[in-house]
Amino acid sequence: MFKDYDSQMKVLTLAHLGYDLSEQQINKLCLFGDLLIEWNRKLNLTRITEPLEIILKHFIDSMVLGKYIKGTKFADLGTGAGFPGIPIKILLPELDVYLIDSLKKRLDFLDIVISELGLKNTWTIHARAEDIGRDAQYRAKFDSVGSRAVARLPVLLEFTLPILKKNGLFLSLKGLQAKDELEESKAALKVLGATVDSIQQYSFGESAEHRAVIVIKKEKDTPSIYPRKAGIPSKSPIH
């Protein structure tokens, strides 16, 4: 199905992001799209099911992060159906990519995607966000962390900063509420030892929601009491 849209995918990615995707990258994105549509019937992975909408609102929206990622070790926290992690891996194949989610069925789907697309150095991790930040195997281990549609920013900061290395970047994909969420996050940023590096606004046209990337830099080690136990960050964000 997605092969019928390969030329549009190439044109849209170049127009919106400036990336001239190779034939191999286009083919992998097409295969990912076909697998997403097929498995969506069983797992309800996404409400967006039209190919052009998937290209714009999932693939290109994820690849926006490509220009902000630093280092070689990238974690996608709350990956869901593989966004932003899978398109980022296709765009930047040299990255080590870790796809983290609390729902095993989604990760089973992503293991199939990884295998079918032949993605090397790409792993799935079954864990809650509150738990992985206290795991010595992952705490302060990532150069960059991305997240999309998981929680409001004050909560996300408590989830993501513990697994970031010092001087690493957290890249949060947000919509129109980005500035409001930043205002809510002042206390969390201070407590968790991070600062706002930049806010980048962008638009993919009238058919897509206005978007923003909030780039957060971790400047100090995260206090050992964070993240708090499961459920607490969402119920009682740092303030």
| 133 marked as binding residue | no
Q: Which domain holds residue 206?
A: 68-235
R_g (Cα) of the chain, nearest Å = 17
Does residue 121 form part of some domain?
Answer: yes
| Residue 162, pLDDT score | 97
| Residue 150, pLDDT score | 78
**From CA 53, how far away is CA 4, in angstroms rounded?**
14
| 170 marked as binding residue | no
CATH number for position 209? 3.40.50.150
Residue with tokens 């995707």: 21
- Ranges of beta strands (E only) in 44-191 are 73-77, 96-101, 122-126, 142-148, 164-174
Find residue 174's DSSP bridge partners: 212
Does residue 214 form part of some domain?
Answer: yes
> By C-alpha distance, which of 144, 59, 48, 22 is closest to 95?
144
| 66 marked as binding residue | no
- Ranges of beta strands (E only) in 16-163 are 73-77, 96-101, 122-126, 142-148
Neighbours of 139 (CB within 10 A): 18
> By C-alpha distance, which of 1, 66, 79, 65 is closest to 33?
1
At 160, list the tokens.
Answer: 């993501």
Cβ–Cβ under 8 Å, residues 75 and 146:
yes
| 129 marked as binding residue | yes
Number of structural domains in the chain: 1
Does residue 6 form part of some domain?
Answer: no
Q: What is the largest CA-CA distance in the chain?
A: 51
Helices (H) and strands (E) in the chain, counts: 11, 7
Does residue 127 form part of some domain?
Answer: yes
Does residue 152 form part of some domain?
Answer: yes
pLDDT tens, residue order, the chain (239 aa): 899 999 999 999 999 999 999 999 999 999 999 999 999 999 989 999 999 999 999 999 999 999 999 999 999 999 999 999 999 999 999 999 999 999 999 999 999 999 999 999 999 999 999 999 999 999 999 999 999 977 899 999 999 999 999 999 999 999 888 989 999 999 999 999 999 999 999 888 766 677 899 999 999 999 999 999 989 999 999 98
Kindly state the DSSP code that residue 223 receives in the 8-state scheme. P
Question: CA 160, 153, 210 angle in degrees (round to 5)?
Answer: 120
Does residue 33 form part of some domain?
Answer: no
pTM as predicted: 0.95
| Residue 13, pLDDT score | 96
Residue with tokens 């600062």: 195
**From CA 171, how far away is CA 214, in angstroms rounded?**
6
Does residue 79 form part of some domain?
Answer: yes
Q: Can you tell me whether residue 128 is helix, strand or coil?
A: coil
| 50 marked as binding residue | no
Does residue 197 form part of some domain?
Answer: yes
